[in-house]
Amino acid sequence: MGGPPAGPEGFNVQIQMEMDDPRKSLLEKYRTLVVGRPGLLPLILYECVTTLTSGVPGALGLLLRKAGYGLILGRVGRGAVLGTGLVVRHPHKVKIGDGVVVDDACLLDAKGNANAGITIGSHAFVGRGTVLSCKDGDIELGEYANIGVYCNISSNGRIRIGSKVLIGPHCSLFATAHNIDRADRSVLEQGWTARGIEIGDGAWLGAGVTVLDGCVIGPGAVVGAGAVVTKSIPAMAVAAGVPARVIRMRTKAEEEA
């Protein structure tokens, strides 16, 4: 699910170095960090769309954002709803399916050099204040996935959230693990690994769950509120605790109900 280990040239450090490069103008740095495409036209179009539509309230704002972001995003499907205060980075790598709802004050950050970006399947819901941050990785939400408010989904590798997955408020998914072996260097300088995260179809993460890099949560699994998932959880299991452990299996009768 992920790529090879990264050294100090990992993407976050690379961005820091580019932002600190005195040879680059502020405009060049901004374009690298936010727009993600060379040339003046993508920059002007991005500025016009975000400035004129992002903060407009009410039904007028919904219409303006649907039309405006359709010009800069990779795709905006039919009937998609984009809330106020939406922030998008590297917008050409953000693809939104039909009937998707992205609530107010969300961040869709598809930043990366070689990644595919963010794909949100049809009829998915992304709750208020949620952050989807690629960091040179990929994030994929399946159809009818439901992401609660103020979640943080961050991927240096790949995160796939299946169809009809329910994720409660304030959950965190981190598809990155920092190397810490060398005591003579800061963690920032030691790079990271990214094996990825996968959440199977129909799974449910309760409020405040944290899922760490390399974990697979099987289809139909349930993770109790506040749990920290450090190892994979099988399909149809119920897990809870810190670290999360399987406490029982769901029955066929429960599934049918």
Are residues 156 and 10 in contact, defined by beta-carbon separation less than 8 angstroms? yes
Q: How are beta strands 131-133 and 152-155 bridged, if at all? A: parallel
Residue 90 designated active-site: no
Show the 3-state SS of 31-79: HHHHHCCCCHHHHHHHHHHHHHHCCCCHHHHHHHHHHHHHHHCCEECCC
3-class SS of residue 141: strand
Question: Catalytic pick from 90, 92, 123, 178?
Answer: 178
Within 13 Å and on the Cβ side, how many CA atoms surround 144?
Answer: 8
d(CA 81, CA 86): 11
Cβ-based neighbour number of residue 186 at 10 Å:
9
3-class SS of residue 1: coil
Q: Which DSSP letter does residue 236 get?
A: T
Q: Which tokens is 245 given? A: 């452990």
Single-letter code of the amino acid located at 29: K
Are residues 209 and 225 in contact, defined by beta-carbon separation less than 8 angstroms? yes
Q: Which tokens is 172 given? A: 């965190």
What are the CA-CA distances from residue 26 to residues 21, 34, 111 (Å)? 10, 12, 18
Q: Which residues are catalytic?
A: 178
